[in-house]
Amino acid sequence: MMCSGMVSPDLILRALSKGADGVLVIGCHLGECHYLEGNYNAAKRVAVLKKLLAFAGVDPARLRVEWLSSAEAPTFVRVTSEFSEQIKALGPSPLKEVA
Amino acid sequence: MEYRTVLTTCTYCGCGCGFYLEVLDGRVVGTIPCKTNPVSEGKLCVKGWNVHEFIHSPKRLTQPLLRKDGALTPVSWDEALDFTAKRMREIKEANGSDSVAFLASAKVTNEENYLIQKFARAAVGTNNVDHCARL
Amino acid sequence: MVEKVKARVQELLASGKVKGFIGLRELHGHIGPYLFTDGGDLDGFVIGDRKAAGDTRYPLNTQLIMISRQYPEETLGVLVRGCDERGLKTLFNTNQLKPEKVVSVGIACPQELADVCECMKPFPEEFVAGEASEARPFGSVERIESIEIGERLKVWLGEFAKCIKCYGCRNICPMCYCPECTLEAKDFQAVGSIASENPIFHLTRALHMAGRCIDCGLCSEACPADIPLRTLYKKIADIVDLEFQYRPGYQDSKGKMSPNVLGEAAKH
């Protein structure tokens, strides 16, 4: 994706239903968006979707948003490892059985 | 400015759901399910919801066509019916009643479908009656 | 009650303040939307209470948008309840209608209807008939939230599994005006096949109701499978209110808050 602002929440839902056990959205740091407000839009969408997932009965921890620049490789490694550990602990997505 | 809603019955299947067709300046532009219809109570299926779309289709047949010298030619209802009656009688006389079959339609009323099967059985003498919507 | 509304509509049409009035008409025992253009001929004018209060409500704002697009210079009147008025305000904010070209005639819903709807505001700001009933909390949302999260998913999957993908929830919705719909975009949904993808079809639609749903409940009434869609959309409205302090239609119609709370629509 060119920008976290292009990550439609519809695509996140699609990923979860097509077999992803979790979705990690990584965008540029807030205030550093080349398109000015792409990552703010991403932040809003993820916040709403997490709450909707919880209401629908899906653990909202399966969705996470992080802000990272391309110069932060160690943080990227830490965040992704941490997230994958967390998802492993949660087990397979309950939506996958349906799809 | 002329906007009308015309109450009618769905032509797609035998359920008989009711809806309003929305007519804006002489063109049918939308479908609204009728809440007071005792059959459908304001609900429709995907076909019913889109029923207005075929009305103005340029592909729709609007008059009888008869194949003349290999080409389909528009003719009057009288000519089409006379031709059909004549040929049907000839075929029946040459090959028997069961050489004719009747295919009824979901796009007409229950009563019209009753008439076509009655015509097939009583007038022509065949049980070869079928229907396009075998629900 | 209906006489007061009729008198107001008659006055609007006779004075030429409106070119037409979109309301409801009863003809041969059936009630449906109708465009009244002659103040002297309001035969069959009803407000949509047939056997029970509000049992024959229709998305009149949808008809209003359609006619307005054809006749942008004309001023039109429309019958509104509390929910319809919230819809109008939101449609003004999204530039689907021009406030100066719309005259609404309000009616307040009786308590009986407000109870069934769990309505937060069962009356428009100005109304010519009825009395303001009390608001009711979203009990249906609370009932879902009282279920443990793992079980909740089973409840919703069971509900969504009944979907026959008629698109009725979207088609009847007075707030669904997009020329292109994500629910028919192959990158997001299985298109042209039945049944709907469970649960993403309905969760996607719920997301698209964020900042948009004015809680009229016509979706639930149009659903042939009785899926409690309204409960789902009530929750998304609660979420948006909590996150962004915005609830569509409750702010001043000239307020700056845009219903596009989730940012510009993602292109697809």
Reported ipTM: 0.93
Nearest to B40 by CA among B67, B75, B7: B7
Percentage above 90 pLDDT, chain A: 85
pLDDT at C253: 41
Residues B12 and B73 in one domain: no
Q: State both tokens at C80.
A: 């509104």
Helix (H) or strand (E) holding C27: strand C20-27
Strand ranges, E, within B1-135: 3-9, 18-24, 27-33, 65-68, 71-74, 102-104, 129-131
pLDDT at A98: 65
Residues B83 and B118 in one domain: yes
CA distance A53 to C227: 18
Residues B77 and B30 in one domain: no
CA distance B121 to B104: 13
Residues B47 and B78 in one domain: no
| Residue B130 belongs to a domain | yes
What is the rounded average pLDDT of the residues C109-126? Answer: 95
pLDDT at A91: 92
Long-range CB contacts (within 8 A, 24+) of C107-113: C107/C1, C107/C5, C107/C47, C107/C79, C107/C80, C107/C81, C108/C81, C108/C82, C108/C132, C108/C133, C109/C53, C109/C54, C109/C81, C109/C82, C109/C133, C110/C53, C112/C52, C112/C53, C113/C52, C113/C53, C113/C54
B37 CB neighbours in chain C (<8 A) are 30
Residues B93 and B126 in one domain: yes
User: Which residue range is the domain that position B111 belongs to?
Assistant: 65-134
pLDDT digits (tens, 9 = 90+) for B98-122: 999 999 987 777 888 899 999 999 9
Task: Identify the CATH number of the domain in which residue B21 sits.
Answer: 2.20.25.90
Phi and psi of A78, rounded to 5°?
-60, -50
| Residue B122 belongs to a domain | yes
Distance from CA of A27 to the nearest CA of C (A): 15
Terminus-to-terminus CA distance in chain C, angstroms? 48
Beta strand B102-104 pairing with B71-74: unpaired
pLDDT at C83: 96
Does residue C91 contact residue C248 with C-beta atoms inside 8 Å?
no
Question: What burial class does residue A41 get, using C-beta atoms within 10 Å of its C-beta: 0-12 exposed, 13-18 middle, 19+ buried?
Answer: buried
Q: State both tokens at B110.
A: 């229950």
CA distance A39 to A27: 6
Residue C267 has pLDDT above 60, yes or no: no
Residue C172, number of CB atoms within 10 A of its CB: 24
pLDDT higher at C21 or B134: C21
pLDDT at C254: 46
- Closest partner residue to C149 (CB to CB) among A17, A47, A57 is A57
Phi and psi of C91, rounded to 5°?
-70, -35
Contact call for B and A: 3+ CB–CB distances under 8 Å: no
Residue C240 has pLDDT above 90, yes or no: yes
CA distance C215 to B7: 27
pLDDT at B97: 95
Does C31 lie at the interface with B, CB-CB under 8 angstroms?
yes
pLDDT at B5: 95
Residue C265 has pLDDT above 90, yes or no: no
Distance from CA of A56 to the nearest CA of C (A): 5
Local confidence band at C268 (pLDDT 50, 70, 90 cut-offs): very low
Q: State both tokens at C188.
A: 């997001």
3-state secondary structure A30-69: CCCCCCCCHHHHHHHHHHHHHHHHHHHCCCHHHEEEEECC
Does residue C204 contact residue C190 with C-beta atoms inside 8 Å?
no
Q: State both tokens at B111.
A: 């009563």
* Plot region of B69 (φ>0 → left; ψ -120 to 50 → alpha; else → beta): left
Q: State both tokens at C41.
A: 């001929």
| Residue B82 belongs to a domain | yes
Residues B41 and B98 in one domain: no
Residues B75 and B100 in one domain: yes
What is the rounded average pLDDT of the residues C170-188? Answer: 94
Local confidence band at A1 (pLDDT 50, 70, 90 cut-offs): confident
| Residue B69 belongs to a domain | yes
pLDDT at B64: 96
Q: State both tokens at C104.
A: 């609404």
pTM of the complete model: 0.87
pLDDT at B15: 84
Residue A30 CA, distance from chain mean position: 15
- Cross-strand bridge partners of residue C35: C22
| Residue B59 belongs to a domain | no
Residue C190 has pLDDT above 50, yes or no: yes
Domain end: B32, B54, B76, which one? B54
pLDDT digits (tens, 9 = 90+) for B61-105: 889 999 999 999 999 999 999 999 999 999 999 999 999 999 998
Residues B82 and B34 in one domain: no
Residues B20 and B41 in one domain: yes
What is the rounded average pLDDT of the residues C204-233? Answer: 96
| Residue B119 belongs to a domain | yes
Distance from CA of C24 to the nearest CA of A (A): 36
- Closest partner residue to C56 (CB to CB) among B3, B4, B35 is B35
pLDDT at B109: 77
pLDDT digits (tens, 9 = 90+) for C7-43: 999 999 999 999 999 999 999 999 999 999 999 999 9
Mean pLDDT of chain C: 92
CA angle, residues C212, C171, C119, in degrees to nearest 5: 45
Does A54 lie at the interface with C, CB-CB under 8 angstroms?
yes
| Residue B60 belongs to a domain | no
pLDDT at B11: 84
What is the rounded average pLDDT of the residues B7-26? Answer: 91
Local confidence band at C259 (pLDDT 50, 70, 90 cut-offs): low
What is the rounded average pLDDT of the residues A11-29? Answer: 94
C82-93 helix and C60-70 helix, angle to the nearest 10 degrees: 40
What is the rounded average pLDDT of the residues A62-69? Answer: 96
Residues B69 and B122 in one domain: yes
B20 CB neighbours in chain C (<8 A) are 32-33
Split into its structural domains, chain B has a count of 2
Does A9 lie at the interface with C, CB-CB under 8 angstroms?
yes
Residues B78 and B119 in one domain: yes
Question: What burial class does residue C230 get, using C-beta atoms within 10 Å of its C-beta: 0-12 exposed, 13-18 middle, 19+ buried?
Answer: buried
pLDDT at C194: 86
Residues B119 and B82 in one domain: yes
CA distance C133 to C136: 9
